Chains A and B, each alone.
Chain A
Amino acid sequence: MLEHLYIIAATETGAEGQAGLFEALGIDAQLIIVQVISFLILFLLLRKFVYPALIKAIDDRKASIEESARAAEEAKSAAETAEANTEKEFAKAKAEAADIVALAQKEASAIMEDAEKRAEKRADHMIASAEARLEQDVNEAREKLKAEMVGLVARATEIVLSEKVDSKTDTALIKKALEEVR
């Protein structure tokens, strides 16, 4: 097709008799025209069929890249947020663990102290109870001994009096009793 254009152009140029000027300047006017036309046609074809697809592909690629970049940014941001949250949670967990340990130590100390106090109190109570029991036993023994002694004394007195109280003494006792009750 382009060869036909060269022939037509050569025919036209010779007919109008302007070939001498362009030839003197070393410019092939026909060739330029043919090239311009070829360029225009190529341009139109490219514009019609290639550019839209190319631009669309570029736009899509650009959008894809932007999307990827945004996603990457979001992922980075999310990662940073997650890391920050992790640090925060870790610090919080550490603080809670420290609190728990401190509380456990405090409770253990309180339990130990309470156990010591109770043991001490129980020991005191046992000592006091033993002392009271001992004192009670001593008192009981003392009372028993006293009662036995009194019983023996009374019995001895009774025996002595039985021998000593004769009729005369008895009469005197009775008279004295009558005077008392009169």
Chain B
Amino acid sequence: MSRRLLSQYAADQLLQGNNDIITQLAAYIIDHHMQKHIDQLVGDIEYELAARGHVLASVTSATALSSELNAAISSTIAARSKAERVELTSHIDAALIGGIVIETPTYRIDRSVATRLKKLQTEL
């Protein structure tokens, strides 16, 4: 089975609530010696989920975000990705100084102060 078909099948099963697919998928990966492709496979599954209206997004900020901001971020991602459901995973990175970095399977938005400073430095 190709990686694409595998990720499509896993995405469908996850959306149907079949969480056992994770265990089955792990067994399949070990059985077929696909351990080195596991990151790509996870990325493919996230992409397939996003294509089906379920976006898994990672948000990184310098400080912890309030629930209000998390909701606003989810709303923004849902509007931009035309997604029905958005799942956020938050990360804290003080090196960003301020702002946020949003990563989804299909795009990456970097509005951090650190990146702006770096761009400014490059332009100068």
Residues of chain A having any CB pair with chain B under 8 Å = 146, 150-151, 153-154, 157-158, 161-162, 165, 167, 169-171, 173-175, 177-178, 180-182
B24 within 8 A of A: no
CB distance from B36 to the nearest CB of A (A): 34
Q: Which of A167, A171, A181 contacts B111 (CB 8 A)?
A: A181
B residues within 8 A CB of A154? Answer: 117-118, 120-121
Main secondary structure of the interface of A (DSSP, over half): helix
Shortest beta-carbon contacts, A-B, top 3 = A177-B111, A165-B98, A154-B121
Q: How far is the CB of B121 from chain A (nearest CB, A)?
A: 4
6 A–B contacts from the bound complex (CB under 8 Å) = A170-B98, A173-B99, A174-B61, A174-B69, A175-B72, A181-B111
Q: In this assembly, does B1 line the interface, its C-beta being within 8 Å of a C-beta of chain A?
A: no
CB nearest to B123 among chain A residues? A150
Contacts of B2 in A (CB 8 A): none
Contact B124 A150 (CB under 8 A): yes
Choose among B69, B109, B113, B117 the residue that contacts A171 (Cβ–Cβ < 8 A).
Answer: B69
Stretch at the interface among B5-13, B42-50, B73-81: B73-81
Binding site for A on B (CB under 8 A): 61-63, 65-66, 69, 72-73, 76, 79-80, 97-100, 102, 109, 111, 113-114, 117-118, 120-121, 124
Which of A153, A165, A175, A181 touches B62 (beta carbons < 8 Å)?
Answer: A165
In the assembled complex, the Cα of A167 lies from the Cα of B69 at a distance in Å of 12
Partner of A165, one of B72, B73, B100, B113: B113
What residues of B have a CB within 8 angstroms of the CB of A162 in the complex? 97
Whether the pair A170, B117 counts as a contact (CB closer than 8 A) is: no
Contact A161 B97 (CB under 8 A): yes
Taking A174-B69, A175-B72 as contacts, is the C-beta distance between A180 and B111 under 8 angstroms? yes
